[in-house]
Amino acid sequence: MNRFLGTTDGVPAEPGREFHSTAVVDCGVYVNGKREPGEFTPDEALREACSRENTFVWLGLHEPTQAEMSAIARTYDLHELAVEDAVKAEQRPKLEQFGSVHFLVLRTARYVPHRELTENSQVVETGQMMIFVGERFVITVRHGDASRLAPVRADLESRGVLLEQGPWAVAYAVTDKVVDAYVEVADQVEADLDIIEEGAFSRGTGAPVQQIYQMKREIVEFRRAVVPLQRPLATITSPQSRLVPKEIRRYFRDVQDHLTRTVEQVSSYDDLLNSILQARLAQVTVDQNNDMRKIAAWAGIATVWTAIAGVEGMNFVHMPEQRWPYGYPVVFLLMLGISVLLYRAFRRNGWL
């Protein structure tokens, strides 16, 4: 269990008061691109970073509560609106500035493996990633199981030159991880779409409309994560932007290229699903028309038997061939012959 003291502007607010938190995943102090040995509480790490040059804190949180996040906010002087967004985790991707602290919101995505596609299959699982970037710290707040940051931290710690660029280097690495996950999800979703497309146009029963609609809902959810991120990245990579060091801006441009590719893929998937859905609905309509024609054809054949049997069953005294010994077999053969002729006619016209 981690313990930290609430502070304001790096100064302890209430000495002796401790906050217990299970939300802190890792807290490291980085000096000249290298991690300092030892363990730090969030307030100790910030004091250490403020007392040395070219030093910053990377604090990682996972699904913090309001109380835990409020304590962190007091320590790192975070704005209450950003803290509220970080706890609720219901935000669109965006980039905001609160004083000297920038608040970047990302939506994470993860492909959910499944044996077969059904009308209830979950294909894409989304979560949220919030990044607070200050002069001496970067705080990452993760919601959900997608885009775990332990590999990102390990990779960054092996790239000291990049880590020397400060907190924005961490923001780049996390964003790169999230966008790379988008690319992987898009590629795996494409395989599912191939299965749906093949099933929709198969000679059998075809893919159910509910299955196609469920896949469309999953694509819409994925699109909500991917498309809005374009604007924050455009702000970060803009030549006029002074938010990010020039060297880190180049790395963000590479992330932006990957995001653009994914946005194009998702848009094409949405269009493809619309086409498949329309084609499947048209196919269903055609199948229903074929069924109605078959029903009408068999009803027409049955009408012959009903009509003749109804007339012959009137039992009037003066009816033709009523007392003829061959009347019954002749009438039966007549009904059977007319039925055969109608059947062949319907078959020739494609009704049966």
Q: Is residue 267 part of a domain?
A: no
Interval 41-58 mean pLDDT = 91
Highest-confidence segment of 249-253, 278-282, 305-309: 249-253
Mean pLDDT across the chain: 83
Q: Is residue 306 part of a domain?
A: yes
Interval 284-301 mean pLDDT = 78
114: left (phi over 0), alpha (psi -120 to 50) or beta: beta
Q: Is residue 339 part of a domain?
A: yes
Q: Is residue 52 part of a domain?
A: no
Query: Taking 60 as the threshold, does the pLDDT of residue 19 lie above it?
Result: no
Instruction: Give the phi and the psi of residue 96 in degrees, each rounded to 5.
Output: -130, 160
Q: Is residue 253 part of a domain?
A: no
Per the listing, tokens 């309001």 go with: 66
CATH of the domain at 294: 1.20.58.340
CA 201: distance to chain centroid?
25
Q: Which two tokens stand for residue 51?
A: 């007392």
Q: Is residue 178 part of a domain?
A: no
Interval 281-286 mean pLDDT = 72
Choose between 309 and 92: higher pLDDT. Answer: 92
* Residue 174: closest CA among 138, 206, 198: 138
Least confident of 7-21, 178-192, 240-254, 311-325: 7-21
Query: Taking 90 as the threshold, does the pLDDT of residue 12 lie above it?
Result: no
Q: Which two tokens stand for residue 106?
A: 């990302």
- The pLDDT assigned to 9 comes to 36
**Structural domain of 298:** 287-348
- How many domains is the chain partitioned into structurally? 1
295-311 pLDDT, tens digit per residue, is 888 888 788 777 777 77
Question: What does the alpha-carbon distance between residue 26 and residue 24 come to, in Å, rounded to a whole number?
Answer: 6
Q: Is residue 299 part of a domain?
A: yes
Q: Is residue 128 part of a domain?
A: no
* Residue 244: closest CA among 180, 171, 151: 171
Q: Are strands 137-143 and 55-62 parallel, antiparallel or unpaired?
A: parallel
